[in-house]
């Protein structure tokens, strides 16, 4: 009986135990060692073009001012801050996978953590551009940093916008440290199988790592410490982003639910982006043996759970607004669901709350086509969530004479598609030049899979005691 229960609960192997350690090195390094295919080149070309028009737009906007966007009173924040919050949120899934799942000993993370962390870094880089270009006079961006200056002024540390500067820059720095620490042993593996200039470059990147146990001992502990620091960090970053709104007095922003609501939404959208990227990556770079349907199914489960958390937050927010007895609060929410921007609210609800419900069915959780479509819908929905929060709360403020409707211009669209181009450009470069799967970690999972497979053939207990 207990055996049957154990069998039912047993996880399928994370990797085919018949693979050898050398197979892992060879297959993960393969995309780095040959010329990229046509698909990569076309994708890179498109993202490069989008990035170029992005920077052309930014240059033009620096000359003309942010009035070229559809921003006007009372909607002073729109596409820029929406995209900032969206991209920061995308990044959070990477840290969740790499740090929180590491602390919880979820070993299925090993196949996906590298690409998810890369996604974090590129998403935060993309996000960081938006507050800068939103400043209008971007060349004064260094005023955000407290430094001794001739004006004898310091930044106002009571302002959540200043907290944001520290949170986002810390997040980028620590994510980079964490990512690079993970990459060191893999760079060494690539160094040891290559020759010539490639060996020299990966040799420098590996810092001379040789896999000594005395080094692994420090490495494992340092990695654990970085995971431990990143876990509260990721929660703090989106909480602080939400403080940008929550500490204001605007109805629709001024709510205490914002920090957990934003963090859940960030993880939700980030996981959707990981699924989008991995469905493509595993196909293009032939990583189906590493990023299995089982991995993707696990992520879809998280999308289902966080999607419902987000849906619950929408309901709570609405209920509290109606129950509060505050006419302004009540109006803001009725205006969201039934006002001029109702289309955006209902895009958000249908994409974020309704579309992930399909993942209750195992068949759809394991279908690549379904998960790809749902992950894109969730990304669209999460972009519109931020748009709804920001724009609909602003466009009808306390004085009806000031009400207006936000109409994006071509430049608003240009920065949105441009930011996607910028993000994908970096991600494609990463896939081409860096190992997209953590070889060292996958090898340790592979060894466990081999032992489990061997144990099923022979007596399992004896094998276990040897390893323990």
Of 459, 458, 455, the closest CA to residue 17 belongs to 455
How many residues would you count in the chain? 468
CB of 110 to other proteins, least distance (A): 10
- What does the block give as tokens for 246? 């929550």
59 vs 159, which CB is nearer to other proteins? 159
201 vs 305, which CB is nearer to other proteins? 201
142 CB-side CA count, 13 A = 4
Which residue reads 């085919």 in tokens? 16
Integer Cα distance of 102 and 112 in angstroms = 12
> Which residues here bind other proteins, judged by CB under 8 A?
20-22, 25, 146, 152-158, 160, 162-163, 166-167, 169-170, 173-174, 177-178, 180-181, 184-185, 188-189, 191-193, 203-204, 207-222, 224-226, 228-230, 232-233, 236, 240, 243, 439-441, 443-444, 447, 466-468
Q: Are 39 and 446 in contact (CB under 8 A)?
A: no
Count Cβ neighbours within 10 Å for each residue of 50-75 and write b for 16 or more, e otherwise.
bbeebeebbeebeeeebebbbbeebb
CB of 391 to other proteins, least distance (A): 26
CB of 250 to other proteins, least distance (A): 16
Q: DSSP letter at 359?
A: G
Q: End-to-end alpha-carbon separation of the chain, Å?
A: 26
167 vs 281, which CB is nearer to other proteins? 167
CB of 283 to other proteins, least distance (A): 26
Q: Are 206 and 435 in contact (CB under 8 A)?
A: no
Of 438, 411, 446, 376, the closest CA to residue 97 belongs to 438
The residues, ordered by sequence, that sit 6+ positions from 417 with a Cβ below 8 Å of its Cβ are 50, 53, 54
324 vs 452, which CB is nearer to other proteins? 452
CB of 263 to other proteins, least distance (A): 14
174 vs 377, which CB is nearer to other proteins? 174
CB of 91 to other proteins, least distance (A): 15
30 vs 222, which CB is nearer to other proteins? 222
Cα angle value 284/285/287 (rounded, 5°)? 115
112 vs 310, which CB is nearer to other proteins? 112
CB of 409 to other proteins, least distance (A): 35
């Amino acid at each position: 009986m207990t055996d049957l229960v154990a069998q039912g609960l047993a996880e399928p192997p994370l990797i085919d135990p018949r693979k050898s350690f050398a197979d892992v090195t060879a297959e993960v390094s393969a995309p780095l060692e040959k010329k990229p295919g046509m698909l990569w080149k076309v994708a890179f070309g498109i993202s490069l073009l989008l990035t170029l028009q992005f920077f052309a737009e930014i240059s033009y906007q620096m000359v003309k001012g942010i009035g070229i966007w559809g921003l006007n009173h009372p909607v002073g924040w729109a596409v820029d801050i929406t995209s900032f919050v969206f991209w920061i949120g995308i990044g959070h899934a990477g840290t969740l996978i790499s740090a929180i799942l590491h602390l919880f000993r979820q070993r299925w993370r090993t196949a996906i953590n590298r690409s998810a962390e890369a996604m974090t870094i590129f998403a935060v880089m993309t996000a960081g551009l938006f507050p800068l270009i939103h400043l209008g006079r971007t060349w004064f961006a260094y005023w955000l940093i407290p430094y001794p200056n001739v004006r004898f002024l310091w930044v106002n540390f009571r302002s959540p916008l200043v907290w944001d500067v520290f949170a986002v820059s810390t997040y980028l720095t620590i994510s980079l440290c964490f990512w690079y620490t993970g990459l060191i042993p893999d760079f060494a593996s690539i160094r040891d199988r290559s020759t010539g200039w490639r060996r020299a470059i990966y040799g420098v990147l590996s810092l001379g790592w040789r896999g000594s146990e005395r080094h692994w001992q420090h490495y494992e502990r340092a990695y654990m410490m970085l995971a431990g620091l990143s876990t509260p960090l990721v929660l703090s970053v989106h909480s602080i982003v939400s403080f940008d709104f929550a500490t204001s007095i605007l109805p629709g922003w001024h709510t205490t639910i914002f920090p957990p609501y934003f963090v859940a939404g960030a993880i939700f959208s980030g996981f959707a982006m990981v699924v989008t990227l991995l469905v493509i990556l595993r196909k293009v770079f032939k990583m189906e043996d590493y990023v299995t349907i089982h991995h993707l199914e696990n992520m879809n489960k998280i999308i289902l759970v966080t999607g419902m958390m987000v849906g619950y937050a929408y309901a709570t927010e609405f209920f509290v607004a109606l129950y509060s007895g505050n006419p302004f609060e009540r109006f803001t929410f009725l205006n969201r669901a039934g006002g001029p921007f109702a289309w955006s609210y209902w895009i958000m609800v249908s994409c974020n709350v309704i579309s992930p419900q399909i993942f209750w069915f195992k068949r759809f959780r394991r279908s690549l086509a379904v998960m790809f479509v749902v992950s894109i819908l969730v990304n669209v929905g999460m972009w519109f969530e931020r748009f709804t929060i920001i724009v609909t709360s602003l466009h009808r403020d306390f004085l009806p004479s000031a009400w207006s409707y936000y109409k994006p211009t071509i430049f608003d669209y240009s920065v949105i598609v441009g930011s996607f181009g910028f993000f994908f450009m970096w991600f494609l470069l990463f896939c081409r030049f860096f190992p997209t799967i953590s070889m060292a970690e996958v090898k340790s999972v592979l060894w466990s899979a081999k032992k489990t497979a061997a144990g099923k053939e022979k007596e399992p207990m004896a094998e276990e005691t040897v390893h323990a």
